[in-house]
Amino acid sequence: MPKVIWITGASSGFGMAVAMKLLKETEHIICVSARRAHLLDILARQGAHAFPVDVTKSDQVAEVRSSIQDAFGTIDAVLVNAGFGVYGAIEEVPENAVRRQFEVNVFGAVETIRNVLPAMRQQGAGRIVVTSSSAAHVSSAGMGYYAATKHSIRAIGTALRQEVQGLGIEVVMVEPGIVKTAFGQVAMDENYMAVEGSDYHGQMQQVKAFMLSAFDRAPGVERTRDIMVKALTDQRVKPVYRTTPGSFALNFASKVLPPVLYDAIVKQAIRRIRQHP
Ligand SMILES: NC(=O)c1ccc[n+]([C@@H]2O[C@H](COP(=O)([O-])OP(=O)(O)OC[C@H]3O[C@@H](n4cnc5c(N)ncnc54)[C@H](OP(=O)(O)O)[C@@H]3O)[C@@H](O)[C@H]2O)c1
């Protein structure tokens, strides 16, 4: 029986790759959303049902949810994926940018989840797949606010998983490390904040060089995409999937190393990239 699947953040990166694969290789009914409607047209031409939405606007999210339910009678699975990264020093990122980071990555995700839950509870079945990150487990200089949003998502997803156990609803968290998508450009070109001449400037420049180099060497979307497709469609799923070697290593380092050693290793790694770009 085809599932009705809603993918947020489908105009680019993971969301688009997952939607494209589901459209090409499965019979499921695919609903996609993001702000840039013209990019969703690519998926609409392949048979997706496209809904322009800003996940920070609760009325828009509710409208998409009710449009999908009116058209197909149900929502079987959702990929809660829309998100972006703000980079900069904790003291220097402007308050409105910090708030926007949380509005999209945390409150936007929560809005989507809370919209699909009543229908899923009523039908006694449903799957909520959340795009988390290795940054749900670790944090480092320059990425504190982004990591904070993904730590929050992990906390919310874990609680939700326990709350809906027994209601027929499954919650799956996918935790990629750095992967080559538009995320890197959006973070480094549009949302990287360094104040010229400030005490943090040198360090933030190092962080930027490190991140640019990491995105340059990062793997493509394929493995993460395939795991997300599996998480949305397989009969049996695990609660958490880590999709890149980076996410295993970082997770392990943050768990086993004392904080002083963890700080020193992160600092050293950032410096080394700066010296050998
Ligand atoms: N790439 C990585 O290294 C990486 C690693 C771990 C986790 N992640 C997570 O993966 C998710 C997808 O990112 P990606 O790597 O695929 O990056 P991407 O290519 O930049 O895609 C981000 C998607 O989120 C959508 N989005 C952003 N703000 C939105 C808003 N206010 N309302 C609705 N949609 C919005 C964008 O669509 P519009 O701009 O058209 O709205 C776009 O479709 C994010 O949650 C990110 O945190 C990425």
CATH number for the domain running over 4-275: 3.40.50.720
Nearest Cα to 78, choosing from 26, 127, 15, 22? 127
Mutate to test the pocket of ligand 1, among 7, 8, 11 (most ligand atoms within 8 A of CB): 11
Identify whether 87 is a catalytic site residue.
no
Written as one string, the DSSP assignment of 75-123 is: --EEEE------EE-TTTS-HHHHHHHHIIIIIIHHHHHHHHHHHHHHH
**pLDDT: which is higher, 204 or 268:** 204
pLDDT score recorded for residue 273: 62
Stretch 188-213: mean pLDDT:
92
pTM (2 decimals)? 0.96
pLDDT score recorded for residue 156: 98
CA distance 231 to 77: 9
Ligand 1 centre to CA of 257 (Å) is: 30
Identify residue 133 by its one-letter amino acid code.
S
Q: Spell out which residues line ligand 1, taking CB within 6 angstroms.
A: 9-15, 34-36, 39, 53-56, 81-84, 104, 108, 131, 133, 176, 178-179, 181-183, 186
CA distance 264 to 116: 43
Q: How confident is the model at residue 3 (pLDDT cuts 50, 70, 90)?
A: very high
- By mean pLDDT, which of 9-18, 163-172, 244-253 is the weakest? 244-253
Only one residue has tokens 């949305």, namely 232
Helix (H, G, I), strand (E, B) or coil at 35: coil
Identify whether 150 is a catalytic site residue.
yes
Residue 168 has pLDDT above 60, yes or no: yes
Q: How confident is the model at residue 130 (pLDDT cuts 50, 70, 90)?
A: very high
Would you give the DSSP letter of residue 165?
T
Catalytic residue, chosen from 3, 133, 134, 150, is 150
Residue 277 has pLDDT above 50, yes or no: no
**pLDDT: which is higher, 72 or 274:** 72
Residue 212 has pLDDT above 60, yes or no: yes
